Structure 1
Amino acid sequence: MTAVMKLKPATFKHIEAELYGYHETKKEIQRRREEIMNPFDENPEQINVVKGPNSVREPGRPTERMATRLMSDIKLRNLEEIVSAIDSTYNQVSSGHRKVIEKGYWDRQGRTWAEVADFCHVHRNTLRKYRHEIVTLIAVKIGWQ
């Protein structure tokens, strides 16, 4: 669990921001999937268009088109990669680290880091070490190290 890696301060803050917004990111993934799977077509000309047997139509295979759109959406892939890295890290770390993630990032409720340390029954320096290890593991999984 000892990761001796120096992250850039901006990278550290960005990953912490992703941890704070983890639950919102999961909701955004669901919204993005819904947008891709159920696109809204504003073109009023196509609402009541009736095509005859000899008219030019789009090729079939709607399932393949849908899967292609889901797989090729860059924003969706990035969001899923971040959530996957956080989930994987959360499942990999010890219960002390999990408590820091839960109380320090997900359920902070305006607590300072000193209050989070007291709540988790660890010293502030231990909490700082846990935070660094958590963020470093996520950075490695995403490839931002």
Structure 2
Amino acid sequence: MTKTTFKKLESEWYNYHHTLKEISKLREEIMNPYQEEEMNHEGGQSNLPGQPTERIATRLTTSKQLNYLNEIVDAVERVYNALPDNYKKVARLRYWNKNGKLKWEGIALETGMSERQARRWRNEIIQATGEVLGWR
């Protein structure tokens, strides 16, 4: 895995909760678009299905941004849920700590392992995420 890919995947772990909020906001925008968007002022036929439910379903399934964000969230969740509890603790402390990003020495103290071991586990977590996504 390239260094750039590793950093990108790690940033997705850091931004996991933000991404969940972004997905929710995007879904809301798709499901409740502005009224002006719904109206066809030019008088021609729209290429969207005539039924509002079908239009919403089409927008939800064809939104590249929504699909991409869902793919990222699904990968993070799949990897996290498959981790042993001690790996999960490292992931939570490193990426989802409410008090800010812990340094490796803090994670080592919290988990009772060496900094080197904690970093190795982080590498395995990020590598697994890349494999789930099919990134190299």
Instruction: Specify the TM-score bucket, using the shorter chain as the normaliser.
Output: 0.7 to 0.9
**1:74-111 superposed Cα distances (whole Å, 9 cap, x missing partner):** 00000000000000001101111100111111105242
The alignment's TM-score, normalised by the length of structure 2, stands at 0.87
1:26 aligned residue: 20
Structure 2: how far apart are the matches of 1:62 and 1:103? 44
1:141 aligned residue: 132
Larger Rg, first or second structure (1 or 2): 1
* Cα separation, partners in 2 of 1:57 and 1:12, compared to 1, 3 Å: closer
1:125 aligned residue: 116
Q: Which has the higher contact order (CA 8 A, sep 6+)?
A: 1
Aligned residues: 130
More helix by share: 2
1:86 aligned residue: 76
CA RMSD of aligned residues (A): 2.1
Partner SS, residue 102 of structure 2: coil
Identity %: 38
Partner SS, residue 35 of structure 2: coil
Aligned residue among 98, 102, 106 for 1:115: 106
**1:37-92 superposed Cα distances (whole Å, 9 cap, x missing partner):** 1111347xx6xx9xxxxx98866322121111101000000000000000000110
Unmatched runs of 5 consecutive residues or more in structure 1: 1-6, 50-54
The alignment's TM-score, normalised by the length of structure 1, stands at 0.82
